[in-house]
């Protein structure tokens, strides 16, 4: 819907900044650091915190001393599990002959370091939903990897402008040009360098500033990378910088009117003019500036932070947050303005070991102070704010007020889930929550002792509140508690957290695949509940037409009742019955997906009909329809990328073929072969061990959920038999 027809929450004031805020909106940046696992996100965050003066000693992932990876499990494994929000401030240094847009002006930068492992993709999704910009980090040796593509798609979905940082330029095999080309080929990104690495591998000395045509050379005597000198470009690099500058001007002039005008009039393209054009097009998501460097070797991080300030948007540079009126569903907007009505999105719940339950939220409009009352339109409940905190590096600082554009946390709020809107009760608005993928793997879990039983229920409830991709339910037939998540590591971390944080010792069954069912043909289902046992009976009669839905659309229900054969007040009960029926299909009791259901006919009894009777009749009608709709079993398919030395290529591909893989591409990168394939998740158990023995430990792989596909007919009976024996 066009913005012009949207109802705004309030008119924009002449000055959107409150006089009490430390940093005006135009000097605020909310950024995320996102990438494939092991690209160097946490190391980069640590360097940014060090150079901005928030910490005084650089922590290392491999030593388990980083600020944002504070969980025990993160420090042990050297991976990020939960996104961490932190705040710092930055002032661009003045350097001779170098133009910077915000030189000498102090800026506030809120950073969220997100996980790279595919099992924790929900952390990235919810972080990108509330961010204004992002740094996408790539490994200079590997280029674009599978999870890089997922993160990029998530950023596209929420229209997040980004800068690319080609990290690990100090590694053997680092290739800056290849990495940028892989961004263009695999991500369709309009990516061009603004800061090129000067040297590579063990010869990495600094960066070449393409916009200002300068060289930034780091001092060899300073291990922390705090000392560098800006000089003219070395003679052997002049040609490369001139070509990169000409390419940059050409690309920006193709999409930016002001730079194009200057080129046509043959005016000098000054750094001021070029930077302004890059900023406009980056914010418009038409251009991706690329920076090369090495976070681990402390080369290139300061100028990357300058680029964040120069090119990524402030909260005022992005379109207002879109939502709807909770009562009428009419589109609304929340303008970024401290003087407006309060509106924010709760994007993360966390049990903090120091302060208890935290709710991280992003303020889109207005301000929130201690003692204020917020309203949750989903629950129609209001709650008083007793404590607000802002996390600055590893310290938790109590604050009195947070303003529009801020990211902060509320302590101790109840009845809230990820994606809830918190707003002013007199001006309610419902913002669109982030969307999350369904779990692909599940396992049964049971407490070791009676004492653990009660604690386990509390622990699982708390963990499910925090993590929208983690589900807990009780199996209908066996009564077992089943936990479901995004992968084996995800469920392993959940069990580990139960033990460490909640002191619950539990046994777990073998991981099970989250199969799905769907129908392949149209069907008509009839359901009747007629009970007469003296006194008041039960009567419900529902008929539905079913047909296969579009892949990925889930359940679509339409009410096509005419003439009141089912009274209007019973329709919600019928819909509830339909929603319950799809939780268990008719083949193996797996959830049914991608089905369209029309409620077409029914009948009622003046006395005996009630909501429960119609809900049960709808369930019977759906089950009847499923049986006639040619049901099939679906299995999760994973996107797998395997990197292996050439001599093991045949063995690795042979092994993938045995696992029912569909090989999509085989490409060479240096002396490595990269095999891209789609493989059923059922065939991927024990894969890490298998490729280790096939390649003498030299192959590596990554995988992520892709889609659901029909299980081959010859395997269906074995899967269903296996389920029945459990």
Whether residue 83 is predicted with pLDDT greater than 70 in this model: the reply is no
Domains of the chain: 30-311 (3.40.50.300), 321-431 (2.40.30.10), 441-514 (3.30.70.870), 517-629 (3.30.230.10), 635-725 (3.30.70.240)
CA distances from 359 to 326, 329, 380, 412 (A): 22, 26, 18, 8
CB atoms within 10 A of CB 623: 15
- pLDDT of 63 reads 53
Residue 22 contacts residue 405 (beta carbons within 8 Å): no
Give the Cα-Cα-Cα angle 86, 90, 95 (nearest 5 degrees): 155
- State the pLDDT confidence band at 58, using cuts at 50, 70 and 90: low
Residue 64 contacts residue 43 (beta carbons within 8 Å): no
Q: What integer is the mean pLDDT of 34-63? A: 74
- pLDDT of 439 reads 79
The DSSP letter of residue 144 is: S
Q: Give dist(CA 473, CA 672) in Å, integer.
A: 44
Helical ranges in 256-376 per DSSP H: 257-264, 271-283, 301-311
Residues of 114-139 as b/e, b for ≥16 C-beta within 10 angstroms? bbbbbbbbbbbbbbbbbbbbbbbbbb
Whether residue 124 is predicted with pLDDT greater than 90 in this model: the reply is no
Q: Give dist(CA 526, CA 612) in Å, integer.
A: 17
pLDDT (tens digit per residue) in 191-224:
999 999 998 888 899 999 999 999 999 887 767 7
pLDDT (tens digit per residue) in 435-470:
777 777 888 888 888 778 878 888 888 888 777 788
Q: Give dist(CA 442, CA 463) in Å, integer.
A: 15
What is the DSSP code string of 79-105? S--S-EEEEEEEEBPP-TT---TTBT-
- pLDDT of 2 reads 35
- pLDDT of 546 reads 95
- pLDDT of 510 reads 79
Whether residue 13 is predicted with pLDDT greater than 80 in this model: the reply is no
Exposure on the CB side of residue 15, measured as CA atoms within 13 A: 6
CB atoms within 10 A of CB 91: 14
What is the DSSP code string of 35-66? ESTTSSHHHHHHHHHHHTTS-SS---GGGT--
Mean pLDDT of the chain: 84
pLDDT (tens digit per residue) in 152-162:
888 888 899 99
- pLDDT of 118 reads 55
- Helix-, strand-, coil-residue percentages of the chain, each rounded to 5: 30, 30, 35
pLDDT (tens digit per residue) in 605-644:
888 889 999 999 999 999 999 999 999 999 999 888 888 8
Q: What percent of the chain has pLDDT over 90?
A: 37
Q: Give dist(CA 372, CA 383) in Å, integer.
A: 8
Q: Give dist(CA 255, CA 263) in Å, integer.
A: 12
Residue 567 contacts residue 608 (beta carbons within 8 Å): no
pLDDT (tens digit per residue) in 371-420:
999 999 888 888 899 889 887 655 778 889 999 988 888 887 877 887 88
Q: What integer is the mean pLDDT of 511-529? A: 91
Q: What integer is the mean pLDDT of 466-486? A: 78
Please name which of 680, 677, 675, 676 lies closest in space to residue 637, comparing C-alpha atoms. 680
pLDDT (tens digit per residue) in 18-29:
788 888 889 999
Please name which of 701, 705, 707, 709 lies closest in space to residue 125, comparing C-alpha atoms. 705
CA distances from 55 to 49, 69, 88, 137, 660 (A): 6, 14, 10, 22, 50
pLDDT (tens digit per residue) in 149-186:
778 888 888 899 999 999 999 998 899 999 999 999 98
Q: Which of 124-138, 359-373, 539-553 has the lowest mean pLDDT?
A: 124-138
Whether residue 68 is predicted with pLDDT greater than 50 in this model: the reply is no
Q: What integer is the mean pLDDT of 661-666? A: 94
Q: What integer is the mean pLDDT of 416-433? A: 86
Whether residue 670 is predicted with pLDDT greater than 80 in this model: the reply is no
Q: Give dist(CA 309, CA 297) in Å, integer.
A: 22
Chain centroid, CA 416 distance in Å: 20
What is the DSSP code string of 588-618? SSPPB-SEEEEEEEEE--TTT--HHHHHHHH
Chain centroid, CA 63 distance in Å: 27
């Amino acid at each position: 819907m066009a913005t012009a027809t949207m109802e705004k929450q309030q008119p924009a004031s002449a000055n959107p900044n409150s006089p009490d805020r430390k940093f005006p909106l135009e000097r605020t940046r909310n950024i995320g650091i996102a990438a494939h696992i092991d690209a160097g996100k946490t190391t980069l965050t640590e360097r940014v915190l060090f150079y901005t003066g928030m910490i005084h000693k650089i922590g290392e992932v491999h030593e388990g001393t980083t600020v944002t990876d504070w969980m025990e499990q993160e420090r042990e494994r050297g991976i990020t599990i939960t996104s961490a929000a932190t705040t710092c401030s930055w002032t661009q240094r003045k350097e001779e002959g170098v133009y910077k847009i915000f030189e000498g002006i102090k800026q506030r930068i809120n950073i969220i370091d997100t996980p790279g492992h595919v099992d924790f993709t929900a952390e990235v999704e919810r972080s990108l939903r509330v961010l204004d910009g992002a740094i996408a980090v790539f490994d200079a040796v590997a280029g674009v990897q599978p999870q890089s593509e997922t993160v990029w798609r998530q950023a596209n979905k929420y229209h997040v402008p980004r800068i690319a940082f080609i990290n690990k330029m100090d590694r053997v095999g680092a290739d800056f040009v290849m990495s940028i080309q892989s961004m263009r080929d695999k991500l369709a990104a309009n990516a061009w360098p603004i800061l090129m690495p000067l040297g590579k591998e063990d010869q990495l000395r600094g960066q070449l500033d393409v916009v200002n045509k300068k060289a930034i050379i780091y001092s060899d005597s300073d291990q922390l990378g705090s000392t560098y000198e800006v000089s003219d470009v070395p003679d052997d690099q002049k040609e490369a910088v001139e070509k990169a500058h000409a390419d940059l001007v050409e690309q920006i002039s193709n999409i930016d009117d002001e730079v194009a005008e200057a080129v046509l009039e043959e005016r000098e393209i000054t750094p001021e003019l070029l930077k302004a054009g890059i900023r406009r097009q980056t914010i418009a998501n038409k251009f991706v500036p690329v920076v090369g460097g090495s976070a681990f070797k402390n080369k290139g991080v300061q100028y990357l932070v300058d680029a964040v300030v120069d090119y990524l948007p402030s909260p005022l540079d992005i379109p207002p947050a879109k939502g709807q009126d909770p009562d009428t569903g009419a589109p609304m907007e929340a303008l970024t303005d401290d003087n407006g009505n309060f509106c924010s999105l709760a994007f993360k719940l966390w049990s903090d070991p120091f302060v208890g339950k935290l709710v991280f939220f992003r303020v889109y409009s207005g301000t929130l102070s201690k003692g204020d009352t917020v309203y949750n339109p989903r629950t129609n409940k209001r709650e008083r704010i007793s404590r607000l905190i802002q996390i600055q590096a590893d310290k938790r600082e109590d604050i009195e007020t947070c303003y529009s554009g801020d990211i902060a946390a509320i302590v101790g709020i109840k009845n809230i889930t990820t994606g809830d809107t918190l707003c002013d009760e007199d001006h309610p608005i419902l913002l669109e929550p982030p969307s999350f993928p369904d779990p692909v793997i599940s396992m049964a879990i049971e407490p070791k002792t009676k004492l653990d039983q009660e604690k386990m229920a509390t622990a699982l409830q708390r963990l499910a509140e925090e993590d929208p991709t983690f589900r807990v339910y009780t199996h209908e037939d066996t009564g077992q508690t089943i936990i479901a998540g995004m992968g084996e590591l995800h469920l392993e971390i959940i069990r580990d957290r139960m033990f460490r944080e909640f002191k619950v010792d539990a046994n777990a069954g073998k991981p099970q695949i989250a199969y799905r069912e769907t129908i392949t043909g149209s069907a008509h289902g009839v359901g009747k509940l007629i009970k007469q046992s003296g006194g008041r009976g039960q009567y419900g009669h529902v008929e539905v037409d079913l047909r296969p839905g579009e892949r990925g659309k889930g359940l679509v229900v339409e009410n096509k009742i005419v003439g009141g054969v089912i009274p209007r007040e019973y329709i919600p009960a019928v819909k509830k019955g339909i929603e319950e029926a799809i939780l268990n299909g008719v083949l193996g009791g797996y959830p049914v997906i991608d089905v369209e259901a029309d409620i077409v006919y029914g009948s009622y009894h003046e006395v005996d009909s009630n909501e429960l009777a119609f809900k049960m009749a709808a369930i019977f009608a759906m089950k009847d329809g499923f049986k006639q709709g040619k049901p099939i079993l679906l299995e999760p398919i994973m996107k797998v990328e395997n990197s292996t030395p050439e001599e093991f290529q045949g063995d690795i591909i042979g092994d993938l073929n045995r696992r029912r893989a569909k090989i999509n591409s085989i490409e060479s990168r240096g002396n490595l072969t990269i095999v891209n394939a789609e493989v059923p998740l059922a065939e991927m158990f024990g894969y890490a061990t298998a490729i280790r023995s096939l390649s003498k430990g030299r192959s590596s792989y990554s995988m992520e959920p892709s889609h659901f596909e029909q299980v081959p007919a010859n395997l269906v009976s074995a899967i269903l038999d296996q389920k029945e024996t459990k």
